[in-house]
Amino acid sequence: MFPFLRIGPLLIQMSGLALLAGLWVATTLIEREALRLKLNAAAILNMVFYGLLGGVIGARLIYAVQHASIYLASPLGLLSLSASTLDPIAGLIIGVVIAFLIGRRQHLPLRLTLDALAPGLAVFMIAIGVANILSGNAYGSPSHLPWGIYLWGEYRHPTQVYETVAALIILLIWKRTSTESRSPGVGFLQVVALSAAARIFLEAFHGASSLWSGGFRVAQVVGLIILALAIYLARQWRKPELASSEREQSARS
């Protein structure tokens, strides 16, 4: 665990730095994959940029809406650099919606664009794992296994390491299968499905899962739904008539 780096008066959050580095590698791979798929790489990177920007602004605004009277009285609080006053789930949804709308406006073919985003997603999952290793977040449940790590007062499953390794394997699988001939969008769905599968299995070792009644872990149930949806969509998107219409749209754009 190495959460902060102090340089003079500056206190740098190492997990944030890991996410930024992950973002940089992710956008590089997205650009490369977009060019390989003969897509407009600049338009896709614009879409990613505005999606991220909109996500961060949206996360702050939704947090502020939840504390409306406070932020109406002190609107400058909206400019705070503190990540603790963001609503991450809302930010994720808003970012995805904004990226989707910008993609549509720029006439990007949906499924091929998703394929271009696939390696970026896989790399960003690795960056999240590394960020969690550095911060000690997403810690595991108590464990007496020989590879347990001492964290937050107990020996625990190194869930952050499990997740990083899983994300790395997913990236390697994507790399291995990316050049094979397949319908547009299926490569992206594979990354999503494998990430959901990793979540379903690894969440059981987490020390701070959000729970539903009966002790069901929210992340596992959501992972199952995403996995089922990804498999279903992959079957649909393999239909030849859909694949050819996507390629025609790509050629037009």
Binding residues (CB under 8 A) for other proteins: these are 3-4, 6, 9, 11, 13, 63, 66-67, 70-71, 73-74, 76-78, 80, 82, 84-85, 136, 139, 152-154, 173, 176-177, 180-182, 186, 190, 193-194, 197, 200-201, 203-204, 207-209, 211, 213-217, 220-221, 223-224, 227-228, 230-231, 234-235, 238
The least CB distance from residue 94 to other proteins, in Å, is 19
Vertex 142 angle, CA 136 and 148, to 5°: 70
Write out the DSSP string of 139-196: -B-B--STT-EEETTEEE--HHHHHHHHHHHHHHHHHHHTTS---TTHHHHHHHHHHH
The least CB distance from residue 85 to other proteins, in Å, is 5
The least CB distance from residue 157 to other proteins, in Å, is 12
Three-class HEC string of 77-128: HHHCCCHHHCCHHHHHHHHHHHHHHHHHHCCCCHHHHHHHHHHHHHHHHHHH
Question: Inter-axis angle of helices 41-66 and 110-135, to 10 degrees?
Answer: 50
The least CB distance from residue 177 to other proteins, in Å, is 5
The least CB distance from residue 236 to other proteins, in Å, is 12
Nearer to other proteins, 97 or 204 (CB): 204
Nearer to other proteins, 47 or 230 (CB): 230
Nearer to other proteins, 41 or 219 (CB): 219
Nearer to other proteins, 92 or 229 (CB): 229
Q: Are 33 and 116 in contact (CB under 8 A)?
A: yes
| Residue of 92, 118, 102, 98 whose CA lies nearest to 29 | 118
Nearer to other proteins, 9 or 146 (CB): 9
- Label residues 128-164 b or e (16+ Cβ within 10 Å = b): bbbbbbbbbebbbeebeeeebbebeeebbbbbbbbbb
The least CB distance from residue 117 to other proteins, in Å, is 18
Nearer to other proteins, 50 or 155 (CB): 155
Question: Using DSSP, how many helices (H) and how many strands (E) does the chain show?
Answer: 9, 4
Which residues lie across from 10 on neighbouring strands? 7
The least CB distance from residue 105 to other proteins, in Å, is 31
- Percentage helix, strand, coil for the chain under 3-state DSSP, each rounded to 5: 70, 10, 20
Nearer to other proteins, 41 or 166 (CB): 166
